[in-house]
Structure 1
Amino acid sequence: MIAEVWRDALHRRHPGPLLACHLGSGTAGGIDRVRFGRRDTVVDLGRRSVDEVFGPDDPPHPFEQVVLVVGTPTDLRRAVPVVAGPVRAARFTVIVRRAAEHLPPPFPMVPGTGRWTGLLDARIKRVPDAGWSVELLLTRPVSLAEVVTALSHGLAGGRRGTATGPLVAARGRDAGVWRPGDALAGGMDEVDAILDVGTAGAEHDPAEPVTPRLRRWSLEDSRWRALGRPGAVPRPRGGFEVDDVPPLDETMINPTGFVQDTEGRSGRLVSREGRWALVVNGRVRRRLPDDGTVTDADIEAVRDLRTIRVEWGRHSGPLASVRAVAAFAAAGVPLLGDPGPSWASCLGEPLRALMSSVCLKDMRDPLRREEHSVRLRRAALRAHGARARWRRLGEITGVDLPAEPTVSVVLCTRRPHMVPFALGQVARQRGVDVELVLGMHGFDLDAPGVGEAVADHRERGGRVIAYEADPALPLGSILNRAVLRAGGDLVAKMDDDDWYGPDHLADLVLARSYSGADVVGNAAEFVYLEELDMTVRLPLGESERASRRLGGGTLMMDRRVWEETGGFRPIPTSEDTQFLAGVELMGGRLYRTHGCNYVLRRRSGGHTWKVGSGYFLKGTVRAQWPGWRPSALLEPSEHELVGGGR
């Protein structure tokens, strides 16, 4: 099959030298049967970077055409740091063999400095196995690096996001694994730090500038057979640590596409001939490469499974083995199994404990299964995600890093008696730096209980900006005035009478990072009907997807998005719906994360949204419980039960 891919990619080649590059599992198969010319060059980017082939200081190498074949979008992002170099061409063909269904087409995000004004033709089409083919023709040559970067940004979609930690020059065959999607890792002369992969134990050359250096094992050098070779660099005393494991590209490996209800089949992750293999009903469904790479296509292929049991075995090496397990966990695949052998300690104790905390019987309950998935993805992304990993490594090198984004919660209410409860929901948020902007609609701090609640919140270390809003103004205008007073990098909207889990804001920040969305939020899956003393879970479709269905009391956005959209509409109701419609019309991206952190309260009156309890019961509900029954992720306390008005 791959030989046909190569022949298809080359069937319209033009006279002149050609560069053929490939990266990803299976992309080299059959390449020996392709007839290349004597002036053509073939490069396996998994083994050598473009700089290593041509030399970083060589003059530009003009090729008539460049062909790049990658296995998946995950591999395309791995290629970004390793294609930096002197290669230029006017014709490009890029083949992505398979891509997860939720990813957008690879429309290139064209550089903004006018270098592509000579673009004559661009063709993007589907190829077999849900892949993509991209053909570009320009009047004058451009660099291979900027083409791959443009396509990588197009496939990732959404915002570019903040930099992944310090500016690092990555050296070695695993550079793309350590800095996926980072064009700066191979293209900048002045950097904050140098990462040497596969040169553990190397001495610093006094002739080189004094730049902070990091050394990490390559996946090749950390194989069991390599560790046992005479003269091999000895393993770290006590084993490998979490930060020795190559990080995960959370842009590709994340919970997007999680399926809440499955048919009930479970899989086993077992070691077969030194590689992880996924076995379902006694048959091998998927074999992972021996370097442990898990791609977006691999994740999509296991979404139908209820669980995967990890059966630790003799994998090719400890780092490759742990890297694969961490990837499935980061994607929210419900994993279970024992904590693993001592060499697997670099997975991190939180993940090891979570995997052994549940059994197959627990996973038959869809809610418990989803809660387990959320805990796994949190732990994995915060331990093994590229952004979190590089923040820690940046601290080790002493590089000054941008601060984590701060969050301003805007909370506007016309009910002074709900202020103490609402402030309690903000106060319990953890893992984020939060300030509260409290818009008091028709009352002030002298209202009974309000001043005391604000003072208590401040005494406990919380930051509050409280202002009295003109009672004649509609809610949309009051929200806009609250945002104008906010000092955070991000703006989150919360309601005064709903319940929020302690990780509500932290999970939204995390979802914003891996989704690249302009606005993130939850859907109101859990609703407490106060009149009936009943909790229902509504069938609102799948979470962890691009979606318009976001609860107004759960929205989080960059302040810039609010400014570009013109803020909330100055209307008394439906201001959230209109705001989201504006973001979408401007080309913005909306993303819905899991709903286990949020319970919507429905009373008999006092809401701007005028529907009764019957509205939530008129259709089929996914689940129904007597009393107040939130997800366990809400971590309810006895104080909240009383304060919530039960």
Structure 2
Amino acid sequence: MTDDDIAHALRYRGPGRLLVCHIGPHAAAALRGAGLGPDTEVIDLGGPATHAVEEAVGHVALVADSTADLRAAAALVGDLPSAADVTVVVRAAAPHFGPPCPVPPGLGRWVGVIDARVRRLPGGGWSCALSFTDPMEVSEVVAAVARGMLGGRRGAAVRPAESGADTGTGVRTRSGTGATGPSWASLGRPGALTGGEVPPRLSVEDVPAVDERVVNPVGFTRVSKSRVGRLVSRGGRWVVEVGRSVRWRVPEDGAVTDVAVARLRDLRCVEVEWGRHSGPLAAVRAVAGLAAAGIPLVSGSVPRWADCLGPELTRIITSVDGATLADAQLREEHSIRLRRAALRSHGSYARWRRSVSGVLAEPVVSVVLCTRRPEMVAFALRQVARQRGVEVEVVLALHGFGPDAPGVRAALAAFRATGRDLVVWECDPATVFGSVLNGAIARASGPLVAKMDDDDWYGPDHLADLVLARRYSGADLVGSLASFVYLEALDLTVRLPGPTECAFRRVAGGTLLTDRRALEEVGGFRAVPTSEDSRLLADLRRLGAHVHRGHGCNYVLRRKAAGHTWGVGSGYFLHHGSGGRLPGWRPSALLEPAPSDVPETRSAQPWSVPGAPGLDRPESAARPLTAGAAP
């Protein structure tokens, strides 16, 4: 975006005094060349604490370098004077973010709006100009524009950590916000770690939190180019180099934005070269942010001064090398492990939960399991019992049989022995499947509801990853791609292609997770015997709901010869399985199956194995997962 773009965005400003606020490392330089005129006051939202503006202003403009900076500004503009004309300029944004069309707060608070204009600026940025009959609070307008650009569920959301929030050691996330200790901008300068003002050892909690609504895995692509980036220090400044060119210059405070992440998405991986120096510490924050976005990072030994990454994140980035990530499946699995560790340690929501409760607490997920097959009850309950990282209750709908059916009572007792809540409901066999699901949901108590099928395999992080995706995507409903399909009659695993970590109209029916409010607004599942999942997704879309499709590495769809409500045969999956096919039962390594749940098969190995030459490798080169009896 050029200086002329900012002048273009403000050309329709009305009479009166102009107050321009800017945030981001390059916004100030852009403003200097915009020719704003003498009757203008400029405020740096990321700089030293500013005095309140005493005089009235006719027009307030906010210039943000990126969507991430726009989100940060929402917590910093509360002291600005109200204005009847407000313009928001976002100089650059990741491709998956929409235009900054504001979402009004409702309740008649914006009845005075008289003009609203959203423009794509010539340099690729966006501007949103709003005019009101009476002055409006700037913070409310900025929040409405940010919400429109990012999307999200209807209703209140957890407020992210404020940009100036103290981390507990005097270190603040932005420079000059009144803290007595150093800022992260100063910690990012050459030689910062040799000064006496810096705490000798920083913890994970001292690293500024990642705002996962803008820096997250959305936009991750399974297929990458062969190019590898290197995060290195050049003259005391961290940069990501690709070949001989600089792809990204890391800000002094190490902050990662959605724009920076988008520039690195096509790389196979980024190698972190810590070097022999003792800083600058900006690399720690940059690595945490890139990992939260799912950028595949690899590293040698991590120096002691970077211990504030956290032990789990440190272990993962040092566990593989760049050559291993030439395999697309291994690259995706590594990205998933990184994002889990980074978001749970460095995400703003995780920090907030720890600050109010002392532990990483999560809302209860009510799993609804509906089955017509007594022989599958034990298997299905084991898939739920192995879930970790979330608190789970199960509502089990026995569709046409009771607990006295063979093996059912033993399965119920085994599940209750795990200490998890279980509600058992016997329903009439004549009830259509959609109504059975609604009856199970009515008996659930958790704020989140997940649907799991009785014959599919689920990894232990299946629910936790869906909860995480719901948080960073802001979606009303999340689910997974059915990447892996096991054709039982053929003893063959087929991989279905498709985009993930994106807004999408379809997700696998056995992976749905949403909240009660969304289900109530849409009226629940349709009272139909089949296609209840696709009908629910269509109904939600008609209400304007956001559906997010996450990765498929926690899930294997089982396809038997008969007995499915979705009436397609093996030929359908063979036709659409352009992602490859392998003999035997071949899930992602993230599935981590229990031995008792692996089917009788000629080969029970991960889809990809480190060190193997490729999909046509001999089976003896693969590491066995487990082998056991059929469920």
Structure 1: state its 5+ residue gaps.
Answer: 180-194, 201-216
Q: How does 1:4-15 map to 2 (within 5 A)?
A: 4-15=4-15
Measured against aligned partners, the alpha-carbon deviations of 1:123-176 in whole angstroms (never above 9, x if no partner) come to: 00111343211111111111211111111111120125642489999479x999
Mapped partners of 2:256, 2:193: distance in 1: 26
Q: State the alpha-carbon separation in 2 of the partners of residues 547 and 171 from structure 1.
A: 38
Alignment map for 1:322-401 (pairs within 5 Å): 322-395=284-357
| Structure 2 Cα separation of the partners of residues 622 and 12 of structure 1 | 52
**What SS does the aligned partner of 2:287 have?**
helix
Structure 2: tracts of 5 or more residues without a match: 600-627
- SS of aligned partner of 2:224: coil
Amino acid at match of 2:366: S
8 A contact 1:255–1:331 mirrored in 2: yes
Secondary structure of 2:99's partner? coil
CA deviation map 1:34-55 (0-9, x unaligned): 4455542111111045xx2216
CA contact (8 A) 1:512 1:520 kept: yes
| Separation (CA, whole Å) in 1 of partners of 2:178 and 2:216 | 25
Residues 460-499 of structure 1, C-alpha deviations (whole Å, 9 max, x = no match): 2121100111100100000000000000110000000000
CA–CA separation in structure 2 for the residues paired with 1:556 and 1:451: 28
Aligned counterpart, 1:236: 199
Matched, 1:163 2:121: no
Amino acid at match of 2:52: F
- In 2, Cα distance between equivalents of 1:645 and 1:42: 70
Cα 1:316–1:4 shift into 2, 3 Å: farther
Deviations 1:77-129 (A, max 9, x none): 11111111141111122111111111122111212343321100000011134
The one-letter amino acid paired with 1:53 is H
Contact 2:115 2:132 in 1 (8 A): yes
Give me the whole-angstrom Cα distance separating, in 2, the residues matched to 1:253 and 1:369: 19
1:65-104 paired onto structure 2 within 5 Å: 65-104=59-98
Establish whether residue 219 from structure 1 lines up as the match of residue 177 from structure 2. no
2:258 aligned to 282, 296, 303, which one? Answer: 296
Equivalent residue, structure 1, for 2:590: 633
Name which of structure 1's ranges 111-120 and 72-81 shifts more when overlaid on structure 2. 111-120
Normalised by the length of structure 2, the TM-score is: 0.90
Structure 1 302/574 Cα, relative in aligned 2: closer, same or farther at 3 Å?
Answer: same
**Aligned: 1:130 with 2:124:** yes
Is 2:614 the partner of 1:645?
A: no
The CA deviation at 1:459 is 1.6
Deviations 1:420-446 (A, max 9, x none): 000110100011110110000110000
1:371 and 1:411, CA in 2 relative to 1: closer, same or farther beyond 3 A? same
Distance 1:500 1:306 in 2: 27
Equivalent residue letter for 1:25: P
Q: How far is 1:390 from its partner?
A: 2.1
The answer as to 2:562 corresponding to 1:567 is no
Give the TM-score normalised by structure 1.
0.88
Q: Return 560-569 or 23-32, whichever deviates more.
A: 23-32
Alpha-carbon distance in structure 1 between the residues aligned to 2:315 and 2:209: 20
| Correspondence for 2:244 | 282
Look up the match of 2:621: none
Q: CA deviation at 1:629?
A: 0.9
Specify which of 418, 437, 441 is matched with residue 483 of structure 1: 441
Match among 135, 138, 143 for residue 137 of structure 2: 143
In 2, Cα distance between equivalents of 1:263 and 1:573: 41
Q: Which residue of 2 aligns with 1:121?
A: 115
Contact 1:408 1:435 (C-alpha < 8 Å) held by counterparts = yes
* Cα-Cα RMSD: 2.6
Aligned 8 A contact 2:5 2:122 in 1? no
Tell me the residue number matched to 1:432: 390
Partner of 1:188: none
- How far, CA to CA, are the matches of 1:176 and 1:37 in structure 2? 37
Aligned AA (1:407): V
| Alignment-mate amino acid for residue 12 of structure 2 | R
2:459 aligns with one of 489, 501, 505: 501
Q: Which moved further from structure 2: 307-316 or 149-158?
A: 307-316
Within 2, Cα distance between the matches of 1:44 and 1:169?
Answer: 13
Correspondences of 1:171-320 after superposition (within 5 Å): 198-200=179-181, 218-223=183-188, 227=192, 232-233=196-197, 235-237=198-200, 239-313=201-275, 318-320=280-282
**Distance verdict in 2 for CA 1:411–1:23, change over 3 Å:** same
Give the distance between the partners of 1:168 and 1:70, measured in 2 at CA. Answer: 14
Distance 2:456 2:321 in 1: 32
8 Å Cα contact 2:525-2:533 kept in structure 1: yes
**Is residue 105 of structure 1 aligned with residue 86 of structure 2?**
no
**Superposed CA offset, 1:603-627 (max 9, x none):** 0111111121111112452121111
Match of residue 591, structure 1, among 529, 548, 557: 548
Could you tell me how far apart the structure 2 residues matched to 1:639 and 1:229 are? 55
- Aligned twin of 1:580: 537
Alpha-carbon deviation of 1:69?
1.1
